[in-house]
Structure formats: C-alpha cells, structure tokens
Amino acid sequence: RLGPIGKVLGMIPGMGQLKELVGDADLDKDMGRLFGIIDSMTPQERRNPNKVIDQQRRRRIATGAGVELQEVSDLVKQFDGMSAMMKGMAGMGMRERVQQMQAMQGQMANPGMRLGKPKGDTGRRLTADERRKQKKQREKDLRRKRRGD
C-alpha cells in the first residue's frame, strides 16, 4: 500500500505544486467513491462508458455505488474529456506533450473547471495540391499497411 494520495503526489517529480493546489481535499475519500462507481459498472460499461451508459444505467450505477446520480454523470463527462485529450496528444511530439501537461496542471488550479473536448485546429487551409499529396500519401500508407510492410 502506497499511503495517502497527497503523499504520493508529493513524491512524483513536478507534482509537488499539484499537491499544494489540491490542499485539504480528501483525495482518498474521493478516489474511494470513484472506485465504487466504476465497480458498479458492467465490463461493457467500463469499456465504452460514453456510448453505453444511458440515464437508466446511470441510476442503477449510482444506486449500486451509493452516490448521487450527478457524480456518475460527472465521471462519464470527465472520461469523455480525458479521452478526447489523450487522442489529441497521441499525434503530438514530446515537447508538445510536455507543454500540454503543464497547461493541464495550470487548469487544475481551478477545480470548478470541467474538462471539455478540445476544439479542432483552426490553422490555414490546405491548397488543392497539398490535399492531393496528403491523399496520395494516405493511400500509399494504407496499401503498405495491408501488405504488411
């Protein structure tokens, strides 16, 4: 057993500030509630919470975990936000990931802030030639993948 979560956070490099931001919050109690919610889900609901869990299932999970319905809904929303964020980070380089993590730590200072799905890139549009080259490259990669190279 590792001990209290606040103590563990203090041991992780770069997480000392996070421990200070969390302050007096009872992280162990909150984690216990989250584990209770997750344990009340079926394996299918755990794999795909945003697609499977409707209002009736949320009520069942809340009753089984002994928590309010809102807490189950909040957990599902938080999962959606984190899932979108992780998918977005998958295409980033190491430097961009570190910058993203630092930005998230800054956002954690505001506990009322919800994790939303990140907006898409609003950069410049590709020219017809650039789109054609990208399409050609995707097709080439797909053929290579099918061949097993």
Residue 31 is predicted with a pLDDT of 80
Q: Indicate the domain borders of the chain.
A: 5-116
User: What does pTM read for this prediction?
Assistant: 0.54
For each successive 10 residues of the chain (149 residues), what is the average pLDDT?
66 66 67 89 89 90 92 89 80 80 67 50 78 92 82
Residue 136 is predicted with a pLDDT of 94
Residue 25 is predicted with a pLDDT of 61
Burial level of 72, CB count in 10 A (0-12/13-18/19+)? buried
Burial level of 53, CB count in 10 A (0-12/13-18/19+)? buried
| CATH code that applies to domain 5-116 | 1.10.260.30
- Tokens 């807490």 belong to which residue? 71
